[in-house]
Chain A
Amino acid sequence: MVSLVNDFVIRFANVNGTGSASANTLFAKSIFRMGVPVTPKNIFPSNIQGLPTWYEVRVNERGYLGRRAGIDLLVGVNPQSMPNDVRSVRPGGYFMYDSSRPLDKSLIRDDIHYLGIPMILLCQKHFEVPRVQQLLKNMVYVGALTALLDIEMDVVKQLVIEQFKNKEKLVASNHLALELGFQYAREHYECPLPIRVQRRNNVGDRIMMTGNTACALGALYGGATVAAWYPITPSTSVVDAFEKYAHRLRTDPQTGEKKFAIVQAEDELAALGIVIGAMWNGARAFTATSGPGLSLMNEFLGLAYFAEIPAVLIDVQRGGPSTGMPTRTQQSDLLLAAYASHGDTKHPLLFPATPTECFEMTADAFDLAERLQTPVIVMTDLDLGMNEHLTAPLRWDDKRRYDRGKVLTAEALERIQNWGRYLDLDGDGIPYRTIPGTHPTKGAFFTRGSSKDEYARYTEDGEAYRRNMDRLLKKWHTARDLVHPPEFFQPKPQHPEAIVFFGTSTYAAIEAIDELRAIGIELDAMRLRAFPFCQAVYDFIEQHERVYVVEQNRDAQMRSLLLIELGVSPQKLIPVLHYDGLPITAASIVGQIVKHHPAAAEWLSTNGHSHVLT
């Protein structure tokens, strides 16, 4: 078997609710601490206890962080899923199991290696309490992997110390469990395996963080004081993290008073209503939700659009439609979010690809929402939100000031003679707003979702209605140059074909570009970062003969947005889709693009995808 130093995928098959998560995280983090890029992904059920759950870690020293299919080593400690788990190991790979009881003969394949570790027997010998035995079983397999994969034991032990801080007893028992697994593997197997880890210096100053935590920090740094939400997977941990950090960083040390308010609303409708009420009244507020919640928020999104009230939403997308696959990832709320609510409505969307961008774009979303006086939706997904990603450290410029947009102060109201809430004084479609309580006699107006004139007076006059709708469109055009421009991967177009992607499809797309180049297909690349699309997006598409649009949904929703908004030729935009609920892979992208390149397709079918970059 070829050596797979710092280039392999390991999957853990566990029962959820058995404490495996912290052991698996420890495993991934120890490789990260050895300077080797890792991508851990949770593949979990919509359930609290007792069902199969998987944790997959891709180790790749070249820094490809997308998911890769094909499992090199599987740690199978869930009897329920074991037949499928054994089947999922690639030929020549390894299957680690608890050999306290013999493995059923039906689970024996002759093309893979078996690594039996008597996990529970070792625990029973050294620990008394049955619950502790079960928990530490997870640490035994981490210990065995430490030996088998040549991971530095000191690194693993240090992480245990950090995790349990001052709880010496826990540290000692966890260290012992690690040693038990380590020694057993050393004594019974040739260590290390060809699959192994070697220390590198390939992670630099990057951090490991989930997108949801980063969004929460973005909201905190962006000055959000009101968070209203309704629990829904996979967005719940956004508010959890906001509460954690706000509690730490925004509580008055003397009085214990909080400079923030979090309300768990009765539903998503109310959650957005609270956000709108707070932002109408001059505070910065946000909600975090997922597709089903966004569906419910449609009514309020229309109000905020038409009454021109800022709001920030974080949509952590999951598999739809309806309840869909609540614990799987997708990029399938694009059309819903872009045009949410009845009537003519459009909403700016931001597409972060990394936790670092989750942080930056969430903070930016408050500036944009207030500048544009409209809801802004940060579109992340379960993969980005709930999995830890290797990402650039978060940075904040202390000189940065919040852009509160066109808000009139009491002094400004004194000066202004002709103020109308919906008057376009600057020609950018953005009017001036006032906050209740600002001035004793000036600036009061009536906010409503019904048609009004420039002075916020209710009207059913068709001309006044049209003027207002046209101004809103002008504001939309203003937004094109305020939202985040796309990222280009070449100084200027070099090839007739191009690839377009966004969000978490980025990781796999970047790997796919390299792979395609290796088999003779050269592509220019553009990463979309926001909707509405600016001129540069249009130009890039116009400059290419064929553009592959990569996205994780069935209906090519981003492609539809490009067609609707830019009016480019539909023949030119080729959908590259992935929608089984697991994060997209480079192989999936390559497989779809080579279909348009017969020679490369033939090479690929002869040699196989795994040989593309070797």
Chain B
Amino acid sequence: MTYLRPEIRHPESKRNALGYTRQYYEGALSTLCAGCGHDSVSGAIVQACFELAIEPHRVAKLSGIGCSSKTPTYFLGNSHGFNAVHGRMPSVATGANLANRDLIYLGISGDGDTASIGMGQFVHAVRRNLNITYIVMNNGCYGLTKGQDSATADEGSKNKSGHVNPFHSIDLCGLAIELGATFVARSFSGDKAQLVPLIKAALSHQGFAFLDVLSPCVTFNNNPGSTKSYDYVREHMEVTAALDYVPEKAAISADYGEGEVCAVTLHDGSQVILRKLANDWYPSDRIAAMKYLHETRQRGEILTGILYLEATGRDLHAMLNTHRRPLNALSEEDLCPGSAALERINAESR
């Protein structure tokens, strides 16, 4: 199937602080199925980057293999992209990040790419608190190979062919919280109002920002009986707190009722403001987050919003104490100790 995208845009399209239109943040036309949740997530990424006025060339987008991992082609066409091998995006992103700490890293993966073949790399990227926004487009199935259950498919969930999944599912958010991720959130591709500020907050977070986005597969897993269908997710969403992302540190305005608001200042000075907090839950309480997650799950609900947020964690560069200048910008004078130092080493070896 070929698509033609209209090139004509309204001459007075809204421009961001850099003078770019939203169009500048788009990519190639999607080749995913019509109605695929992933396209909505791509749209939310475009919107978030446009609103944040990110310079596209300062973003590196990386992915693994699968339907979700195709999406980086469909957004941020002016950014460098890297389609790695299946399940191995986290290691490539780790190397890229070590080479240049100044870029923004956006990792895109799927439930197969992360929860099965890439589980080993995912958990280790989390525990290193790699500075990356890591989005899983989670549809509970393998789309490209025609709809096999993935490891995030819920026990008892029925797929299109009527097969009922007998296995426990892996909750990637619960796992990320357990492993020490510093930003953990869940959202739904169909809820742009929630998703866009979450992506903005994640991109502004320094450390591992994990977003599990339920993103239904219209072709293989959108049937009655599936717990990853549009209808099911819509009907079972519960929200930890409504979220506002405020680009700069600002006084919390008066219309938030007292006791219902929590503001978290991120590393770059921007703020995440959470309203109407659920009882007994605060964003930086890891144990409460786990409890809340388990409780909603037991009730058959899907907990969304920010689940856990710790803005002060040390990322991989801090842990390794690497130089503040990007390693890829160091010159030969910085790197090569020269012949005199080598002569000393020779002398020590006699």
Binding partners A and B:
yes
**Are B330 and A259 within 8 A (Cβ)?**
yes
Is B218 in contact with chain A by the CB < 8 A criterion?
no
Is A563 in contact with chain B by the CB < 8 A criterion?
no
**Are A437 and B82 within 8 A (Cβ)?**
no
**Are B80 and A436 within 8 A (Cβ)?**
yes
Is B259 in contact with chain A by the CB < 8 A criterion?
no
A33 to B349, CA, bound (A): 11
| Residue in B83, B91, B322, B335 whose beta carbon sits within 8 Å of that of A450 in the complex | B83
Q: Which residues of A contact B57 (CB under 8 A)?
A: 436-441, 444
Stretch at the interface among B93-101, B160-168, B175-183, B245-253: B93-101
A415 to B168, CA, bound (A): 57
**Are A273 and B332 within 8 A (Cβ)?**
no
**Are B100 and A261 within 8 A (Cβ)?**
no
**Are B328 and A281 within 8 A (Cβ)?**
yes
Chain A residue at minimum C-beta to C-beta distance from B337: A249
Given contacts A252-B323, A273-B121, contact A281 B349 (CB under 8 A): no
Given contacts A266-B121, A281-B99, A444-B56, contact A394 B323 (CB under 8 A): no
CB A300 to nearest CB in B, in angstroms, measures: 7
Is B346 in contact with chain A by the CB < 8 A criterion?
yes
Is A13 in contact with chain B by the CB < 8 A criterion?
no
A299 to B121, CA, bound (A): 15
Is A497 in contact with chain B by the CB < 8 A criterion?
no
Is A225 in contact with chain B by the CB < 8 A criterion?
yes
Within 285-343 of B, Cβ neighbours of A (below 8 Å) are at: 316-317, 320-324, 327-328, 330, 332, 334-339, 341-343
| Residue in A266, A279, A436 whose beta carbon sits within 8 Å of that of B124 in the complex | A266
Q: Which residues of B contact A396 (CB under 8 A)?
A: 336, 338-339, 342
Is B214 in contact with chain A by the CB < 8 A criterion?
no
Q: Which residues of A contact B170 (CB under 8 A)?
A: none
Q: Which residues of B contact A401 (CB under 8 A)?
A: 332
Is A285 in contact with chain B by the CB < 8 A criterion?
yes
Given contacts A278-B95, A436-B100, A448-B83, contact A208 B342 (CB under 8 A): no
A260 to B325, CA, bound (A): 11
**Are B346 and A207 within 8 A (Cβ)?**
yes
**Are A437 and B335 within 8 A (Cβ)?**
no
Within 263-291 of A, Cβ neighbours of B (below 8 Å) are at: 263, 265-267, 269-283, 285
Stretch at the interface among B70-78, B219-227, B235-243: B70-78
**Are B327 and A265 within 8 A (Cβ)?**
no
Q: Which residues of A contact B342 (CB under 8 A)?
A: 217, 221, 394-396
Chain B residue at minimum C-beta to C-beta distance from A206: B350
Q: Which residues of A contact B341 (CB under 8 A)?
A: 249
**Are B85 and A303 within 8 A (Cβ)?**
yes
Is A489 in contact with chain B by the CB < 8 A criterion?
no
**Are B103 and A436 within 8 A (Cβ)?**
yes
Is B58 in contact with chain A by the CB < 8 A criterion?
yes
Is B51 in contact with chain A by the CB < 8 A criterion?
no
**Are B99 and A437 within 8 A (Cβ)?**
no
CB B61 to nearest CB in A, in angstroms, measures: 9
A385 to B276, CA, bound (A): 62
On chain B, the number of residues with a Cβ less than 8 Å from chain A's Cβ atoms is 60
Within 208-239 of A, Cβ neighbours of B (below 8 Å) are at: 208-209, 217, 220-221, 223, 225-226, 228
**Are A458 and B324 within 8 A (Cβ)?**
no
**Are A274 and B323 within 8 A (Cβ)?**
no
Chain A residue at minimum C-beta to C-beta distance from B124: A266
**Are B100 and A437 within 8 A (Cβ)?**
yes
Q: Is the interface of B mostly helix, strand, loop or mixed?
A: helix
Q: Which residues of A contact B345 (CB under 8 A)?
A: 217, 245, 394
**Are A274 and B321 within 8 A (Cβ)?**
no
Within 151-189 of A, Cβ neighbours of B (below 8 Å) are at: none
**Are A258 and B321 within 8 A (Cβ)?**
yes
Given contacts A207-B349, A401-B332, A436-B57, contact A274 B100 (CB under 8 A): no
Is B81 in contact with chain A by the CB < 8 A criterion?
yes
| Residue in A269, A397, A434, A458 whose beta carbon sits within 8 Å of that of B339 in the complex | A397
CB A500 to nearest CB in B, in angstroms, measures: 31
CB A352 to nearest CB in B, in angstroms, measures: 17
**Are A261 and B56 within 8 A (Cβ)?**
no
**Are B99 and A277 within 8 A (Cβ)?**
yes
**Are A273 and B84 within 8 A (Cβ)?**
yes
Q: Which residues of A contact B320 (CB under 8 A)?
A: 258, 261-263
Is A256 in contact with chain B by the CB < 8 A criterion?
yes
Bitwise, B188-230 to A at CB < 8 A (1) or not (0) is 0000000000000000000000000000000000000000000
CB A566 to nearest CB in B, in angstroms, measures: 32
| Residue in A270, A273, A283, A299 whose beta carbon sits within 8 Å of that of B100 in the complex | A283
**Are A258 and B323 within 8 A (Cβ)?**
yes
Is B41 in contact with chain A by the CB < 8 A criterion?
no
Chain B residue at minimum C-beta to C-beta distance from A220: B337
**Are B91 and A277 within 8 A (Cβ)?**
yes
**Are B99 and A447 within 8 A (Cβ)?**
no
**Are B91 and A440 within 8 A (Cβ)?**
no
A370 to B307, CA, bound (A): 43
Q: Which residues of B contact A90 (CB under 8 A)?
A: none
Q: Which residues of B contact A438 (CB under 8 A)?
A: 57
Is B186 in contact with chain A by the CB < 8 A criterion?
no
Is A110 in contact with chain B by the CB < 8 A criterion?
no
CB B14 to nearest CB in A, in angstroms, measures: 20
CB B111 to nearest CB in A, in angstroms, measures: 20
A458 to B85, CA, bound (A): 15
A48 to B330, CA, bound (A): 40
Chain A residue at minimum C-beta to C-beta distance from B81: A446
Is A250 in contact with chain B by the CB < 8 A criterion?
yes
Given contacts A280-B82, A435-B328, A447-B80, contact A257 B321 (CB under 8 A): yes
| Residue in A266, A278, A397 whose beta carbon sits within 8 Å of that of B99 in the complex | A278
Q: Which residues of A contact B90 (CB under 8 A)?
A: 270, 273
Is B120 in contact with chain A by the CB < 8 A criterion?
yes
A458 to B31, CA, bound (A): 12
Bitwise, A379-415 to B at CB < 8 A (1) or not (0) is 0000000000000011111100110000000000000
Q: Which residues of B contact A250 (CB under 8 A)?
A: 334-335, 337
Is A445 in contact with chain B by the CB < 8 A criterion?
yes
| Residue in A205, A220, A449 whose beta carbon sits within 8 Å of that of B83 in the complex | A449
Within 407-444 of A, Cβ neighbours of B (below 8 Å) are at: 434-441, 444
The 5 closest A-B pairs by CB, nearest first: A277-B95, A273-B91, A283-B99, A278-B95, A436-B80
A-B contacts, 25 of them at CB < 8 A, read A33-B350, A207-B349, A223-B335, A249-B341, A257-B321, A258-B323, A260-B322, A260-B327, A261-B322, A263-B98, A270-B124, A273-B121, A277-B82, A277-B96, A283-B95, A283-B99, A300-B88, A393-B346, A396-B336, A434-B80, A437-B100, A439-B57, A440-B56, A445-B80, A448-B82
Residues on A lying within 8 angstroms of B by beta carbon are 32-33, 205, 207-209, 217, 220-221, 223, 225-226, 228, 245, 249-250, 252, 256-263, 265-267, 269-283, 285, 299-300, 303, 393-398, 401-402, 434-441, 444-450, 458
Known: A226-B327, A273-B91. 20 other contacts (CB 8 A): A226-B98, A228-B91, A228-B95, A250-B337, A263-B94, A263-B316, A266-B120, A269-B88, A272-B91, A273-B90, A274-B98, A277-B95, A278-B96, A280-B95, A281-B96, A285-B99, A303-B85, A393-B346, A436-B80, A447-B80
